[in-house]
Structure 1
Amino acid sequence: MHTIEHDIERPDRDVVAAFEEIPSTIVSDVTGNVGITMDPGIRPASDGIEMAGTAITVKAAPGDNLIIHKAITMAEPGDVLVIDCDGYVGTGHVGELMCTSCKANDLAGLVIDGGYRDSREIAEMAFPVYGRGVNPQGPLKQDPGSVNVTVSCGGVSVDPGDIVVGDDDGLAVIPGDGAERVLELAREKLDAEDTTREEIEDGTYLFDLKGYDELFEELEVVGPEDSIQ
């Protein structure tokens, strides 16, 4: 069954925009490091990417991009296309012209768990694109697929309206209904790290600041003489 849902609930745009200043590492830290960061196989097409936007989710058949073309026409400024192609990299599902269309219509970025092409042109266009691989093979256009359904991208379940944060380290996903709380925690974490950084620059060790000595004392530390010969 193919589903196309035009109306989705988006978080407040000011909240989404605020995540542009929050690194993916911080999002991961304050959300417990579990199930919210995409796997490292989804990589940025270029260095220096900073992205935050609202997910428009796409379920596309591996090797086919007809539904992706449709989703681009449905997305609003500030949205991120999150495309689930089952990790298939035997086809470049999106290329320069499609990404140019996304950029021209003020989308925040594109994430595809699958292959893309025109990698050099995409890298030079200063539009945030993440994908699992590059392949020059062109796609088919015969399987509609679905838009704005729950998808799996990079091992993370993504719903339409979730917030996607991306940078050079990778991608983190924030459920739309919990965005304000995550933003609050992220800002507190950044402030705390600023204080910690000052102490480190003065010569204090993280090992001491964080009390890791207590954890270390609980370990059974062995030396070379204890190894099996």
Structure 2
Amino acid sequence: MHTIEHDVERPDRETVEAFEGIPSTIVSDVTGNVGLTMDAGMRPAYEGVEMAGTAITVKAAPGDNLIIHKAITMAEPGDVLVVDCNGYTDTGHIGELMCESCKANDLAGLVIDGGYRDSREIAEMEFPVYGRGVNPQGPLKQDPGSVNVTVSCGGVSVDPGDIVVGDDDGLAVIPGDGAERVLDLAHEKLESEDETREAIRDGTYLFELNGYDELFENLEVVGPEDSIQ
């Protein structure tokens, strides 16, 4: 069954833009690390990438990009296409010209759990793209697929309207209805890290600052004499 949903409830644009420049590591920390951070296999097409935008989700058949072309026409400025291709990397589902179209229409980026191609050209145009691999093989155009349904990308469940933040470290997802709370927590975390950084530069160890010394004291530490002979 194929679904095309045109109506997407997007967070306030100012809220989305406020995530620009906030590291994915910070977003991951304040959202609880597990479940909202995409896996390490989702890598950027070039170094120095920064991305924050609202998810337009796409469920595409592995090896076919017809529905991705359709989704590009449905996206609005500031959106990120989040494409679920079941991790299939034997086809380059998107390439230079599709990314040029996305960039010309002010999309914030494209994330594909699958393969893409024209990696050099995409890097040169500096359009944020993340994928699971690169393959020169071209795709088919015979399976409609779905747009704006819940998808799985990088091991994370993504809904249309969620916010996706990306940089060189990877990708983190923020549920659209919790964006403002996550933004507040992110700023608090950044301020806390600034204070910690100053303490570190003064010679204090993280081991002490974070109370790891107390955790360590409660562990049962063994030495070579305790090993099984």
Rounded to whole Å, the distance in 2 between the matches of 1:143 and 1:90 is 17
Rounded to whole Å, the distance in 1 between the matches of 2:103 and 2:192 is 35
2:164 corresponding residue in structure 1: 164
Residue 224 of structure 1, CA deviation: 2.2
Rounded to whole Å, the distance in 1 between the matches of 2:160 and 2:96 is 24
Structure 1 counterpart SS, 2:2:
coil
Percent of aligned positions with the same letter in both sequences? 88
Residue 114 of structure 1, CA deviation: 0.2
Structure 1 counterpart SS, 2:19:
helix
Normalization by structure 2: what TM-score? 0.99
Alignment of 1:100-179 (within 5 A): 100-179=100-179
RMSD value, Cα: 0.7
Q: Deviations over 1:9-49 (max 9, x none)?
A: 00000000000121111111111111000000010010001
Structure 1 counterpart SS, 2:54:
strand
Q: Deviations over 1:160-194 (max 9, x none)?
A: 00000000010000000000000000000000100
Structure 2 counterpart SS, 1:222:
coil
Rounded to whole Å, the distance in 2 between the matches of 1:49 and 1:15 is 20
Residue 90, structure 1, aligned to residue 99, structure 2: no
- Per mean C-alpha deviation after superposition, the further-off stretch among 160-169 and 214-223 is 214-223
Residue 124 of structure 1, CA deviation: 1.2
For structure 2, the 5+ residue unaligned runs are none
Residue 57, structure 1, aligned to residue 64, structure 2: no
2:218 corresponding residue in structure 1: 218
Alignment of 1:18-97 (within 5 A): 18-97=18-97
Structure 2 counterpart SS, 1:199:
helix
Aligned length: 229
Normalization by structure 1: what TM-score? 0.99
Rounded to whole Å, the distance in 2 between the matches of 1:210 and 1:117 is 44
Rounded to whole Å, the distance in 2 between the matches of 1:28 and 1:157 is 15
Rounded to whole Å, the distance in 1 between the matches of 2:160 and 2:32 is 22
Residue 60 of structure 1, CA deviation: 0.2
Rounded to whole Å, the distance in 1 between the matches of 2:175 and 2:153 is 14
Q: Hey, which bits of structure 1, 4+ residues long, moved more than 3 A? A: none
